[in-house]
Amino acid sequence: MHKWIMFIVFAAASVLGVYLLTTQLPGKPVDEAASLPPGVTLLKVEASADFVFDQEEYKVKKGDKVKLKLVNKSGVHGLAIPDLGIDLQGDKLEQEVVFDKPGKYEMHCAVACGTGHLDMKSVLIVE
């Protein structure tokens, strides 16, 4: 009798495992840069709930046409570069920009996201 119960439990666990493997796996990563028009590069900035951007500084070349994209990994954030007139937040998290003035530009979170909001900064360097 116990053998049949163990067999049924094992069979049910196997079916559940196969179901989860076939339906719950994440999709393959997509190369977003491949879908951009010729001459446009992608600059992806990732923001997270621990009040940081994924890099301390980002670099682009002067004259490059760049698709600037903010990705909120966790929490709700924005991206502002006041000296360049860039403000990504809400429904607008992407913008195509031509960086024509070399220099260092401060980037900061444009959404009051919590206690570490004021320290959420990075630098954009246009070479």
DSSP string, 36-79: SPTTEEEEEEEEETTTEES-SEEEE-TT-EEEEEEEESSS---E
pLDDT at residue 1 in the model: 64
Q: Which amino acid is at 65?
A: K
Does residue 33 surpass a pLDDT of 80? Answer: no
pLDDT at residue 62 in the model: 92
pLDDT mean over 26-40: 79
pLDDT at residue 61 in the model: 93
pLDDT at residue 34 in the model: 77
Separation of alpha carbons 112 and 97, rounded Å:
24
pLDDT tens, 60-116? 999 999 999 999 988 889 999 999 999 999 889 999 999 898 999 999 998 888 888
Domains and CATH numbers, the chain: 41-126 (2.60.40.420)
Q: Are strands 52-53 and 57-60 parallel, antiparallel or unpaired?
A: unpaired
Does residue 31 surpass a pLDDT of 80? Answer: no
Strand-pairing partners, residue 79, are: 88
pTM of the predicted protein model: 0.72
Strand-pairing partners, residue 59, are: 125
State the average pLDDT for the chain.
88
